[in-house]
């Protein structure tokens, strides 16, 4: 293989791999609820402390950032999330999926996501 073609094929492979990795990162954003002074973090109906509390999320529980067009849904420092009271988020149709709750939570209650 000529040297130029080899370099071009190598560059294309690298770009394809990088593109797939970034696409996956955009579509899979899981975080863990951190310990707070209250002992829980609130999942709310709207992105505000005034929003009705849906559920108290406990430290160590899993949240999944909701996406729209590949981007995290947020308003200011509030994120639209799906919460599951356990350590592994079930898939739709799996046992326990009915316990998944959706709402808004302040970004300060999550660890580094990814």
Count: domains in the chain: 1
Residue 98 sits in which domain range? 27-109
Average confidence (pLDDT) per 10 residues, the chain, 114 residues: 41 41 51 92 96 95 90 94 85 89 94 74
Q: Is residue 82 part of a domain?
A: yes
pTM of the complete model? 0.71
Confidence at residue 114, expressed as pLDDT on a 0 to 100 scale: 64
CATH number of the domain bearing residue 60: 2.30.30.40
Confidence at residue 78, expressed as pLDDT on a 0 to 100 scale: 97
Q: Is residue 85 part of a domain?
A: yes
Provide CB contacts within 8 A for 80, sequence distance 6+: 47, 65, 66, 72, 73, 74, 102, 103, 104
């Amino acid at each position: 293989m000529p040297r130029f073609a080899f370099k071009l094929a190598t560059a294309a492979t690298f770009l394809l791999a990088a593109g797939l990795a970034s696409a996956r990162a955009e579509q899979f954003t899981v975080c863990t609820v951190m310990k707070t002074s209250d002992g829980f973090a609130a999942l709310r109906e709207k992105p505000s402390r005034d929003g009705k509390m849906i559920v108290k999320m406990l430290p160590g529980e899993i949240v999944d950032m909701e996406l729209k067009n590949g981007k995290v849904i947020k308003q200011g420092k509030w994120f639209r999330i799906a919460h599951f009271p356990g350590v592994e988020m079930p898939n739709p149709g799996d046992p326990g999926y009915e316990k998944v709750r959706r709402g808004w939570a302040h970004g300060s209650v999550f660890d580094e996501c990814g």
